[in-house]
Amino acid sequence: MQLFFIIFIFINLCIQNYAYPNMRSKKKQTVIGPTCTQGGHNPLPPSGICPQSNDTFVFPGMHDVPAGQAAVHRWAPWFTVEWMFYYVFDAANIPPYFPVPQGNFTTSYGRTYYDDTTSQGRCMREVYDQRCIPIFFTDVLSINNNYSCDFLNIGNTQTAYLILHDDRPKGAPECCIIGQLFHPPPRNFSSNLYIKKASTIEDIDIDWNGLTLEDAGLFLYGFYNKTYPIPHDPTPASRPYVFYMMGAPQIATWMYQKFGDWDPINKPDPSVWNVPQACHQATACPGWG
């Protein structure tokens, strides 16, 4: 009996360590950041609609488009796009702008890299050259946004990192996690957005897709109404025009991202998706949950 018991333990150890590695217990990931983003960064809820803001929003210069008549938009399989972010202080200075905001604002140049075909799954990186996006309401990252940053979201790990540089605030980490169980947007993310509007800015016809989120306010993404054939995908690609959302009001109530040069042909270099060593033991960003 004792021999049988020893053999039984030995066999179980072999199974755990060699035969069936996928059966080993896995460390459960901690959920960090937004848990409901209307399918943009995590699955849709059973109801199909994330909890909405109770605030009332206005949409200057836009008209409603019935859902059944709204254009279908889809990102290219990969792209790089340059942009300028406007951080607007006055809550009454409501987007969209024609073509840029008036009054008090600061800016940051940057670019977005996206690739739905990498060996690490769908990946996305946003690079803020001068000022990081002001989404922190408390702690060291909320005092100002006068520091550069990158947001790197790796599909396979469903983790989004905030990467900070030498100009980071005193006491801020080199890397921290802003989203976990959090993936880059799918190419057709706008299909799940239920605000559908249209307008013309700079003689360009714009299709707007958006949503509101409880405690986070309004998010609106504008595409050029015209789509563009690309050689590596049978579906014409949609070009981004503007994205805007609400920010931390001590720095900017409105954050307005005006897209510029767009390259849907050349793949981002694979090094763009390298996760820095500082991120390997990263935890939630200060002031973030």
What pLDDT digit, counting tens, does each position of 67-124 carry? Answer: 899 999 999 999 999 999 999 999 999 999 988 999 999 999 999 999 999 999 999 9
Q: What is the pLDDT of residue 11?
A: 35
In this structure, which amino acid lies at residue 23?
Answer: M
User: What is the tens place of the pLDDT at every residue in 42-51?
Assistant: 999 999 999 9
Q: What are phi and psi of 196, to 5 degrees?
A: -125, 115
User: What is the tens place of the pLDDT at every residue in 22-35?
Assistant: 333 345 678 999 99
Its pTM stands at 0.89
Beta strands in the chain (DSSP E): 63-64, 78-88, 105-118, 121-128, 149-154, 159-164, 175-180, 195-201, 204-213, 217-230, 233-246, 254-263
Is pLDDT at 9 greater than 60 in this prediction? no
Give 200's contacts (C-beta < 8 A, 6+ positions apart): 61, 206
Rg (CA), the chain: 22
